[in-house]
Structure 1
Amino acid sequence: MKIENKYQTKEDVLQAVTENDVKFIRTQFTDIMGMIKSWAIPSEDLEDAFNDGVMFDGSSIEGFARIEESDMILMPDPSTFRVLPWRPSEGAVARIIGDIKMPDGTPFEGDPRYVLKKTIAEAAELGYNMDVGPELEFFLFKLDEHGNPTTELTDTGGYFDFAPLDKAQDVRRAIDFALEDTGFKLEASHHEVAPSQHEINFRFGDVLTTADNVITFKYVVKSIATHHGYYATFMPKPLYGVNGSGMHSNQSLTDKNGNNVFYDPETPNGLSDTARYYIGGLLDHISEFTAITNPTVNSYKRLVPGYEAPIYITWSDSNRSSLIRIPATRGKGTRVELRCPDPACNPYLAFALMLSAGLNGIKNKTDPGDSVKRNIFELTETEKKDMGIYSLPGNLREAIDAMKNSDFVRQTVGDHLFENYLCAKTKEWDNYKARVHQWELDTYLGIL
């Protein structure tokens, strides 16, 4: 069952504002990096905001606009309205996500949410709707005496561990309750493999709702953790020597009648040709948009052999060493799991590129090759070469270069976002490359 939303119109929202005694609305959107931008308006101004939008200065937002063309408008989307459960019940505070428009009312091409909406429309023209179920992992660390985040562990638990090993179970339970109060339908909440690492899975939904929910999920998790004296981080690899945090993305396509087009009971593995072509499209383009699914220097500290990292560009219906895995469920639950994305990504852009790549595969009937049955982690370099198995980009610089040469990514995200994203990421890499890191001091200072 998909996520259902009780807010569909501005009238629904205005009624909820009255019923819940909401005094302030935090209007939100994301910049090209997926960072939340927000400001509050009084609840009595919300109706005007629905009608006319809220003006803001886009020149102050990463990758948005130049000074001479800075005026922009946020148009609230009623379906994203949520009352924040950790705020006071009297004089409550709510949140609403919006679409970014130019002063003349046209969509702003650099708005990540618009990029996803545009890709959804392209899928609809082909007769498809995309559903996504992401699995976000995160770490809970202690705060220091000044309230700043540390990497001090909150527990030494492992996969599915419970108290006393999972000492942060109380704060995770508080996060679960807050998520449910915010409208999430949770499917699993548990300790992950690494110490102080957690995963909370929520029910899949249509791709736009799910992208909004990823933004909301991170916002809720961080807020509740802070209220309990913890710091929640979605940094992909905050600790050396243990597993990093991923955002495995389960995806499927349905037709106009709601039928899962990835399922074919007549094939040996239950996968349709449409599913195979979709997989082929993902494999064909993934290196070109790894800079978006894995957007930071730190992302590539997770994508290394030895920590169950999905770095090999293959697919499998039997093991987890491939980049793409096909979970065993068939029928309505038939889905493709892309395992490389991490929770630092901008979900609007990441999902748009996944969908666009899959659609390209369907349109071009891209053959993904045979499912890889062997554990790739156990293969030698020669065996991998003989099998035609290649890896994702090894660092952010390689990912930037792959994206820079991609007509596919440029076409999907548009010129404005393409150029600004690459510019920002190149600066990030150059800054990292010029820094002297502790490893260099530990390794070289005493001997050279």
Structure 2
Amino acid sequence: MADALTAHELVRATGKPAAELTKADIIAFVESHGITMLNFRYVAGDGRLKKLNIVITSREHLDRVLTLGERVDGSSLFPFVSASASDLYVVPRYRTAFVNPFADEPTLDLLCSFYDVDGAPLASAPEQVLRRAQAYLEETTGARLEALGELEYYLFSEVDSIYPIVEQRGYHEAHPYSKWGNVRRETMAHLARMGCQIKYGHAEVGNIVADGQEMVQHEIEFLPVPVQDAADQLVLGKWVLREVAYRHGLQVSFAPKIVVGQAGSGMHFHTRLSRDGRYVFADADGLTEDAHRVIAGYLQRAASLTAWGNTVPTSYLRLVPHQEAPTAICWGDRNRSVLVRVPLGWRGIGDRMVRDANPLEAPQDIDATDSQTIEIRSPDGSAHVHLLLAGLAVAARTGLLGEDSLEVARRGYAAQDASRDPHLPQLPSSCARSAEALLADRAHYEAGGVFPPGLVDAQAAMLRGYHDDQLSERLFGNADALAQLVAEHLHCG
């Protein structure tokens, strides 16, 4: 039975959860709602959402395309698929269907998976890598990983002389002191109708005035869902934000750095783990052994995870000390200078606060252990989201299975500002160093057939191709060169 409060149009129409939608449900919705076109959408090698328009010509045609999918040129979508064997199939996943809010004609969009010439899942396709990572994690540890992403972005507009913004003072500010909250709200409403699970949105710290422009930072945060769905939500979020901003005549950027010295945009991920239907990061005594083991896995793979989560040279202009972005590989409680943060949970509090704020409320027996997450703060808007989350699943698995994981977690704890401790291991300082870390760790990613060797090689080659080792030092004091570098990667991700 579907939730009566859902905004998802197909769920409301069918009365079924999205996970239970069938081909018959899709056809019935198309017929009853006058849908004239389908869009097949899929994430290619560059991490962006692609589109194939299909005009519905008959019921038979609709049934056939929903059953068989379509053919596409894989050599134009992936850098490591040869032109001589490039035909691929894209097959829709019915549970992802949503009404396109931007199309001029009634249109239904579906996310798709890639399959090869034999009808087998394409090993190097991002959604298939993530699917295998989750399956191998469950096979070897009995655990499933969930994630929620924090999507930070900047909007560019003319300077407002009536209520000017205050630089670096935008956090949770409200209109008129914060600008373009309507773009954020429109985006959130569209995403909810598409089936995305949204936690909240707000204005972020970053307010910048430069070159006659006002740049304001916002964030949309999602709810924890299985990692495959979490990746899809982030990719859809970027697409919808770009569409909404464009319709307001605005430029939006998810780049890790807009102006050197000002707050950059991260893409933090909170994660939680379940086993046998129970969330296992916290109990009545605090963080569990599972939580400490997963933290250890994140720390051990931290350097190589940047290969999936920090993929452009400006990523490493954000990962600098004293900018609320991590540089040292460590973890801590509620400490925003660390790489892996354990945020506030509601352990042991129950309904105490709500009864204090609302004295008429009767006591409730509520278990909030599922609220405890573990956050990784290094990724940014350049991340290849599906591959990054696959990497987090790999890291969680190595932590859960590692003999020395509890000792790694113990040694990696930082109680104070981590950026001030010179003895802690450091994140890579460039794409080139990130590529080295990935190649050093490749056995962990390739274990269980999760990451194909060719994909690891291609990612390392792409990162090395920037030739950015010691780039910050080479460009220090050269404002024009830094501005050009930022401009080159303004629309990454």
Shift of 1:112: 0.8
* Equivalences, count: 418
Partner of 2:97 in structure 1? 81
Question: Is structure 2 residue 386 aligned with structure 1 residue 374?
Answer: no
SS of residue in 1 equivalent to 2:192 = helix
Structure 1 residue 395: deviation in Å? 1.2
Shift of 1:50: 2.6
Match of 2:218 in 1: 198
One-letter identity of the residue aligned with 1:233? S
User: Which residue number in structure 2 is paired with residue 409 of structure 1?
Assistant: 445
CA distance in 1, matches of 2:165, 2:182: 12
Q: Secondary structure in 1 aligned to 2:148?
A: strand
User: How much is the aligned-residue C-alpha RMSD, in angstroms?
Assistant: 2.5
The answer on 1:303 being equivalent to 2:319 is yes
Q: Give deviations 1:273-294, integer Å, cap 9, x for gaps.
A: 1111111111011112211111
Equivalent residue number for residue 265 of structure 2:
245
Q: Distance in 2 between matches of 1:227 and 1:53?
A: 31
Q: 1:384 — aligned with what?
A: 422
Gapped regions of structure 1 (runs ≥ 5): 144-153, 444-448
Please give the alpha-carbon distance, in whole angstroms, between the structure 2 residues aligned to 1:286 and 1:235.
20
Residue aligned with 1:405, SS: helix
Indicate if the aligned counterparts of 2:434 and 2:463 stay in contact, CA closer than 8 A: no
The structure-2 alpha-carbon separation of the partners of 1:213 and 1:432, relative to structure 1 and needing over 3 Å to count, comes to: farther
Quickly say closer, same or farther: Cα 1:430–1:200, change in 2 above 3 A. closer
SS at match of 1:428: coil
Per-residue deviation, 1:155: 5.2
From 327, 335, 341, the equivalent of 1:319 is: 335
Note the C-alpha offset of 1:71.
0.8
1:259 counterpart residue number? 278
Match of residue 381 from structure 2:
343
8 Å CA contact retained: 2:436, 2:460: no
Partner of residue 334, structure 1: 372
Equivalent positions of 1:271-286 (< 5 A) are 271-286=287-302
1:217 Cα deviation from its structure 2 partner: 0.8
Uncovered stretches (5+) of structure 2, i.e. residues with no partner: 9-16, 159-163, 208-215, 348-368, 482-493
1:279-294 aligned at under 5 Å gives the runs 279-294=295-310
The one of 45, 56, 63 aligned to 1:32: 45
Match of 1:42 in 2: 55
CA distance in 2, matches of 1:309, 1:32: 27
Matches within 5 A, 1:151-170: 156=166, 158-170=170-182
Q: Which runs of 4+ in 1 moved over 4 A?
A: 1-4, 154-157, 430-433, 436-439
Question: Partners of 2:478 and 2:341 in 1: how far apart?
Answer: 37
Give per-residue Cα distances to partners, 1:40-96, cap 9 Å, x unaligned: 1123544322321210111112324101111111111111111112334xx312321
What is aligned with 2:490? none
Following superposition, the deviation at residue 6 of structure 1 comes to 5.9
Superposition deviation, residue 441 in structure 1 = 7.5
* 1:446 alignment partner in structure 2: none
- Structure 1 residues 7 and 214, CA, compared in 2 at 3 Å: closer, same or farther? farther
Task: After superposing the two structures, state which structure 1 stretch, 1-10 or 209-218, moved more.
Answer: 1-10
Output the CA distance in 2 between the equivalents of 1:27 and 1:394.
Answer: 38
Shift of 1:21: 2.2
- DSSP 3-state at the match of 2:422: helix
Which residue matches 1:211? 231
- Indicate the larger mover: 10-19 or 278-287: 10-19
Report percent identity of matched pairs.
28
Q: Secondary structure at the match of 1:313?
A: coil
* CA offset digits 1:250-280 (Å, max 9, x no partner): 1011112x211112323xxx11111111111
Do 1:80 and 1:212's aligned partners in 2 also have CA atoms closer than 8 Å? no
Q: TM-score if structure 2 supplies the norm length? A: 0.79
Give distance in 1, aligned partners of 2:418 and 2:232.
Answer: 35
Q: TM-score, normalised by structure 1?
A: 0.87
Kept in 2, the 8 Å contact 1:17–1:43? The answer is no
Check whether the contact 2:430–2:469 (CA below 8 A) recurs between aligned residues. Answer: no
The CA distance in 2 between the partners of 1:431 and 1:316, in whole Å, is 29
> Within 5 A, what are the aligned runs for 1:6-85?
8-44=21-57, 45-85=61-101
Q: SS of the counterpart of 1:138?
A: strand
Equivalent-residue separation in structure 1 for 2:54 and 2:475 (angstroms): 43
- 2:132 is equivalent to residue 118 of structure 1: yes
1:151 matched residue in structure 2 = none
The alpha-carbon deviation at position 136 of structure 1 amounts to 0.9
Distance in 2 between residues matched to 1:427 and 1:26, nearest whole Å: 34
- Give 1:150's aligned residue: none
What residue number does 1:147 align with?
none
Deviation per residue, 1:170-217 (Å, 9 max, x gap): 222222222222223432211100011000112221111111111111
One-letter identity of the residue aligned with 1:50: L
Between 179-188 and 71-80, the greater mean CA deviation after superposition:
179-188
Q: Identify which range, 94-103 or 20-29, moves more after superposition.
A: 20-29
* Secondary structure, counterpart of 1:353 in structure 2: helix
Matches within 5 A, 1:355-374: 355-365=393-403, 366-367=405-406, 368-370=409-411, 371-374=413-416
Q: Which moved more, 1:76-85 or 1:400-409?
A: 400-409
Matching residue of 2:109 = 95
